[in-house]
Structure 1
Amino acid sequence: MFLDVLFGVLPLFFVMLIGYAVSYSPKFPPSVEPALNVFVFYVALPALLYKVVARADISRGVPFDFLWVTVASTLAFALICWVLFRYLLRVDRGRSLAGMLSTSFGNVSYLGIPVILGVLGSQAGLAAGMGQLVHNVIFMVGFPILAQLMMPAGPGNRHKPSGRRIALTVRNALIYSPVTWAMVFGGAVVIWGIPIPKPLDGTVDLIAAAAAPGALFVIGLSLRRTVQRTLDRRAGTTQTKVRGAKRTMLIMVVGKLAALPLLTVSLLWILAPDLEAMWFNTAVLMAAMPTSATAYIMAQNDTGDGEPTALAIVITCALSVIALPVLAQLVLK
């Protein structure tokens, strides 16, 4: 299992490294990354999710145990992280929220879906789509609302929380998300057996093929900016702050790559021991994804403190090359 997963994820990380390497070329100026990101998020990734859902075997449906254990383990772990940062490390409220996000929210879309399809095969497409949707709903809807409630006067939250602002957060994360609609359309096709013309189906296949390499390439491009931003901010940091930052970072890295997936495994073993291997493995791998690149933007906008998140992205991405195969060898079915 170790070698199977290692050989499955290595090509994905090689694409990320290529993206990182070419970011130093003048042919790839900073303006390229946002354009590629828009293409991947609004075109290629929705095409991939539509494809895997529309062609999935839904005869047995989506296991309820998969959904509720994923939600329960993720929310419980986020609460544990909040307590650790706020009351054990005694960092301020903004950094505690950012730390909780960085330790709990993995790169389930751009990295999680390619990893699961690469390791478990195309038959895991529906599971991968549902897994990323659950994690994204929890954090892309829940975290901005939580930040509004806990930091009403903080950076990015200059107005008191209101029902309208919360409704806008939910709308932007769900109703305006192309990923959500791709899965809805795919589900409609497979449930009602809607016939799709071959030229249209072939077009979707072509676009979907660009999703995984495109997403990984964009992650690689963004790593250079993340590394440079982190180095610039740490240049003037005092030694006392450095020691505190090391403790914070240790919790983020160990929590994201080990503690969250192990908590998920434990709950699955105890509460859903008969869950099918594909759904079991998908839940665990989604929990083990390195810190999401989106987490930096959210932490910076909602708490004004994205520096630890930026560093966590770089470290967890690098270490996940080994952490994922080790985890697979130890706990996957």
Structure 2
Amino acid sequence: MLEIALLVAPLFVLLGIGMAAGFAQRFRSAQAGLNAFVFNFALPAFILMALAEAPVSDGVPLAFVVTSFVVPGALAFAVGGAARLWSRVRARRAAAHGRGASDASAVAPGPLAIASTYGNVGYLGVPIVLSVVGPQAALAAALGQLLHNVLFMVGYPLLKALQHRRHGVDEAAKTGLFELVWRVFTRAVLVNPVMISVVLGLILGALPVTMPDVFRESLGMLGQAAVPAAMFAVGLSIKPAFEGMRSGAVPVTAVLIASTVKLAILPAVTIVVLLAFGASLGSSWIAAAVIMAAMPVSSTASILVFEYDGDARVTSATTLVTSVVAVITIPLAILATPA
């Protein structure tokens, strides 16, 4: 336990430094630019270089794909469905007593589902997998974050767009189904720098070619900035989330539910599925799947929720809580990982 904690401790120290810097206005005002740098340049370079040297020709286990994609997706639907059912029960109880339902503790199903399952697999998951498991897990780490991001960055906007189309909301009501799907897919995948870096990395790793030294060294230097810059950026996002919780604007019960699902239930279900169906997986694939599932909520989740739901306070608050508690839960999840 102590050895694993020491491996991931430097990453959380960087997060703490970012959190402390978030109390200064000049750093808070730079957060958008820092996030843009990490997402568009540093992290893609980091992933590209890791995949270019990964054993891509060995193939990808189907059990890993199913575990990384289906488990969080199913759990997100379960949490969203439960939240929707609970809101209907509250509304019926309020109607039975002749009063309107209070919105003080109500949380929309979509944001709660995202807050319960959308992990920080890129900024935090990839560095931790490579730190704990080693470079042999580069392929598993990159594919894990790719599957995770496709699930949420494509799936959630698509569900929202289809919902608006069905209810005649906004311009989605006038858009054809194929055009709607293509528009969401293009935005989330085809022009996404992280997605592009994964594809290029897989191609370079599969082909018997060597990248010129000048490009390899340049991308390597850029990629080295990804981990510290990403952790610092995550830390900067914590103070606004804390202020939301302190003001009482965020339902604490919803945050606790989402945090429990994200840090305990999702990793536990992932381990159970791996025990049942992943007997043929190598240790690096198993460790990568569990570590990715154990990640705290991504700050990108708040951006996604704000864009499609307009209120990301629950998601931001859950990012705060899970980022702090993950210092303990991530080593525990790694210890519980099947050998």
Does the CA contact (< 8 Å) of 2:118 and 2:301 recur in 1?
A: yes
* 1:309–1:151 Cα change, 3 Å: farther
- Counterpart CA distance in 2 for 1:325 and 1:86 is 33
- Counterpart CA distance in 2 for 1:332 and 1:215 is 29
Does the CA contact (< 8 Å) of 2:119 and 2:295 recur in 1?
A: yes
Say whether residues 1:292 and 2:292 are aligned partners: no
AA partner of residue 159 (structure 1): E
* 1:171–1:94 Cα change, 3 Å: farther
- TM value normalised by structure 2: 0.88
Which SS does the other structure have where 1:305 is aligned? coil
Gaps of 5+ in 1: none
Does the CA contact (< 8 Å) of 1:291 and 1:316 recur in 2?
A: yes
Which SS does the other structure have where 2:170 is aligned? coil
Shift of 1:332: 4.1
Does the CA contact (< 8 Å) of 2:146 and 2:198 recur in 1?
A: no
AA partner of residue 41 (structure 1): F
Q: Aligned to 2:180, which of 165, 188, 202? A: 165
Say whether residues 1:82 and 2:80 are aligned partners: yes
Say whether residues 1:205 and 2:205 are aligned partners: no
- Counterpart CA distance in 2 for 1:70 and 1:189 is 23
Q: Aligned to 2:147, which of 121, 134, 140? A: 134
Which digits, 9 at most, give the CA deviation of each residue in 1:254-291, with x for residues without a partner?
Answer: 10001011111111111122211110111111111111
Shift of 1:197: 1.5
Which residue of structure 2 aligns with residue 194 of structure 1?
A: 209
- Counterpart CA distance in 1 for 2:293 and 2:72 is 8
* 1:58–1:48 Cα change, 3 Å: same
Say whether residues 1:272 and 2:285 are aligned partners: no
Say whether residues 1:123 and 2:136 are aligned partners: yes
Shift of 1:24: 2.4
Gaps of 5+ in 2: 91-102
Which residue of structure 1 aligns with residue 24 of structure 2?
A: 25
Which residue of structure 1 aligns with residue 323 of structure 2?
A: 317
Q: Aligned to 1:179, which of 189, 194, 198? A: 194
Aligned-residue sequence identity (percent) comes to: 32
Does the CA contact (< 8 Å) of 1:71 and 1:134 recur in 2?
A: yes
Does the CA contact (< 8 Å) of 1:47 and 1:204 recur in 2?
A: yes
- Counterpart CA distance in 1 for 2:184 and 2:208 is 33
Does the CA contact (< 8 Å) of 1:95 and 1:305 recur in 2?
A: no
Shift of 1:35: 1.2
Say whether residues 1:228 and 2:243 are aligned partners: yes
Does the CA contact (< 8 Å) of 2:124 and 2:295 recur in 1?
A: yes
Shift of 1:249: 2.1
- Counterpart CA distance in 2 for 1:253 and 1:327 is 15
AA partner of residue 121 (structure 1): G
AA partner of residue 142 (structure 1): G
Does the CA contact (< 8 Å) of 2:286 and 2:337 recur in 1?
A: no
- Counterpart CA distance in 2 for 1:153 and 1:192 is 45
Backbone CA RMSD of aligned residues: 2.1
- Counterpart CA distance in 1 for 2:192 and 2:132 is 26
Which digits, 9 at most, give the CA deviation of each residue in 1:31-88, with x for residues without a partner?
Answer: 3111111111111101111101000122421112110222221221112112221224
AA partner of residue 282 (structure 1): A
Which residue of structure 1 aligns with residue 97 of structure 2?
A: none
Shift of 1:144: 1.0
Q: Aligned to 2:159, which of 139, 143, 146? A: 146
Shift of 1:94: 6.8
Does the CA contact (< 8 Å) of 1:188 and 1:194 recur in 2?
A: no
Runs of 4+ with >6 A deviation: 91-94
Does the CA contact (< 8 Å) of 2:241 and 2:313 recur in 1?
A: no
